[in-house]
Amino acid sequence: MPAYLDPHNRAEILIWQGRYRAVILPLIGFSAITLKWFDVISSESIFVASYGKRPALLLAVALLGAYLIFQKLLAAYLRRAGAAGMAPVVLTIAVDMVTLFGTIALTTPSEHFDRALIISIFAVQLTQVFFGWTATVASLALIAVAYCALVGLAASVDPAYSATEQLWTLALYGIGVLVYVALQGHVASRMRRLTDIFTRAQEGDFSQRYDEAPDQMPDPVTIIGRAYNRMRTHLETIVLTDPLSGCFNRRGLNQLAEREVSRAMRGRKDIAVLAIDVDHFKAINDRYGHLTGDEVIREVGELLRATAREPDVVARIGGEEFTILAPESNEEGAMVLAERVLQAFRDHTFRSLPADVRITTSVGVAAAAASADEVGKMLLARADEALYVAKRNGRDRAMAWAPSMRAFDGSSGSGQGRTSVTGMLRVMD
């Protein structure tokens, strides 16, 4: 979501912008007043000519002082409220324009009213980048009204004053500023898109690439986007992959499970989960050492990836625990895959172990139609429960989850008291 749509971000932006507004506009105004006061600039404004230099300049000082007070009060209000709607934004713009054009009217001769337009460009730019097009249009409308008021005032005092020329200046200003803010808006939009991609990457989602096709004239934003695209696969590997086994880690599994569940829901397909645990792995560590145990985990990862189907997701979720997410697979198909995993381990000779040492696994299977977003979490819990029962019933076997399954005694019951065992202690090897 763009920052200007979030009330908390909007308040924060108004506060820090207020500090700059409280310096820039008063600095310009007080500089003009000082130069006029000491006659460094001798040309007279309409008010100086009508009421004298001293009253006109004192009124300008009062106007700038009121502007500073407004900025202080607004900042205090926003800090207390912690959020801001569009009303404070429009109010800030309106006060800016009143102060700017009022100071110009009090200190500047009518033939140089276009100075107000030059200064207002900075305000329009800040508005467009941080508050979006609605606030920008409001800002341009206020500028047009204020400038027309100045021109009308000058024309009422001096019949020879060329209001048409000044209005033409306003039209050129409007066209130029609209083109400028449109370009700035395009850059800001792409930056927000890039920020969204980086935010997703921070959460472990590398599914989005930066689309550089619309960037017909590459600029720094394009260069950053291209750099991200080049690094995306490498970053995905680092963040989503378990470095020991080469399989996906828990974060990678969760992300891919969410994607596959959504896909299965759209296609009204089944989805299955296999929870896999290496039997007696603790004994391997105790007898051959943890370095050998790590080598076994590497080989287990290779073996599972070689045994699984191409669309299956193989993940190591901790220790000797692995999971296979099998899209478009019902319970029967998942049990076939589970038996294939069991047989692959029975037939495999691990390079890091003596030739006569065999490793077996236990597998829990759960499958269901993808009917809700939570089905992935449900299947992970059920497969874990079925795995617990498989280990209690002798290991080196696969068990399919059933509603009556009771993990803690290995028996079947009414289903009452069945507990999800995700994250619970398993049987000690």
Distance CA 350, CA 106 (A): 90
DSSP H or E segment with residue 19: helix 7-37
Residue 414's pLDDT is what?
33
Residue 98's pLDDT is what?
95
Pairwise pLDDT comparison (306 vs 211), residue with the higher score? 306
How much is the average pLDDT of 327-340? Answer: 94
How much is the average pLDDT of 394-410? Answer: 78
CA-based nearest residue to 149, from 112, 124, 113: 113
How much is the average pLDDT of 215-229? Answer: 83
379 by Cβ neighbours in 10 Å (0-12 / 13-18 / 19+) ranks as: buried
- Residue 20 clears pLDDT 60, i.e. is over it: yes
pLDDT bucket at 419, cuts 50 / 70 / 90: very low
- Residue 90 clears pLDDT 70, i.e. is over it: yes
Scanning 246-403, the segments in alpha helix (DSSP H) are 250-267, 281-288, 290-307, 331-347, 375-392
Contact predicate 281/289, CB 8 Å:
no
Residue 406's pLDDT is what?
62
Task: State CA 168 to chain mean position distance.
Answer: 44
pLDDT bucket at 223, cuts 50 / 70 / 90: confident
Residue 374's pLDDT is what?
82
- Residue 257 clears pLDDT 90, i.e. is over it: no
Task: Tell me which of 134-138, 156-160, 168-172, 212-216 is least confident.
Answer: 212-216
**Residue recorded with tokens 């989005």:** 208
Question: What is the residue-averaged pLDDT of the chain?
Answer: 86
Question: pLDDT exceeding 70 applies to what percent of the chain?
Answer: 93
Distance CA 56, CA 249 (A): 72
Distance CA 362, CA 338 (A): 9
How much is the average pLDDT of 180-208? Answer: 80
How much is the average pLDDT of 263-278? Answer: 90
How much is the average pLDDT of 169-184? Answer: 89
HSE-CB at 156 with a 13 A cutoff on CA atoms is 9
CA-based nearest residue to 171, from 156, 151, 189, 154: 151
Distance CA 399, CA 384 (A): 10
Distance CA 237, CA 263 (A): 23
For the chain, what's the residue count? 429
pLDDT bucket at 407, cuts 50 / 70 / 90: low
- Residue 403 clears pLDDT 80, i.e. is over it: yes
236 token code pair: 């995905």
CATH topology of domain 244-400: Alpha-Beta Plaits (3.30.70)
Contact predicate 349/326, CB 8 Å:
no
Distance CA 246, CA 286 (A): 24
Residue 5's pLDDT is what?
64
CA-based nearest residue to 167, from 180, 149, 142: 149
HSE-CB at 53 with a 13 A cutoff on CA atoms is 12
Question: pLDDT exceeding 90 applies to what percent of the chain?
Answer: 54
How much is the average pLDDT of 151-165? Answer: 89
Contact predicate 110/161, CB 8 Å:
yes
DSSP H or E segment with residue 321: strand 321-327
Going by the DSSP 8-state scheme, the letter that residue 326 receives in this structure is E
Strands 398-400 and 361-369: parallel
- Residue 2 clears pLDDT 80, i.e. is over it: no
- Residue 265 clears pLDDT 90, i.e. is over it: no
Task: Tell me which of 97-111, 191-205, 262-276, 300-314 is least confident.
Answer: 191-205
Distance CA 114, CA 235 (A): 52
- In tens, the pLDDT along 25-66 reads 999 999 999 998 888 877 788 898 888 999 999 999 999 999
- DSSP per-residue codes, 194-207: HHHHHHHHHTT---
Residue 429's pLDDT is what?
40
Distance CA 6, CA 4 (A): 6
Contact predicate 359/345, CB 8 Å:
yes
Scanning 82-219, the segments in alpha helix (DSSP H) are 86-107, 114-157, 163-202
- In tens, the pLDDT along 341-361 reads 999 999 999 999 998 899 999
Residue 412's pLDDT is what?
40
- Segments making up each domain of the chain, as ranges: 3-161, 244-400
Contact predicate 412/393, CB 8 Å:
no
Q: How far apart are the first and last CA of the chain?
A: 49
Distance CA 331, CA 339 (A): 12
CA-based nearest residue to 130, from 184, 175, 91, 173: 184
Around Cβ 289, how many Cβ atoms within 10 Å?
Answer: 11
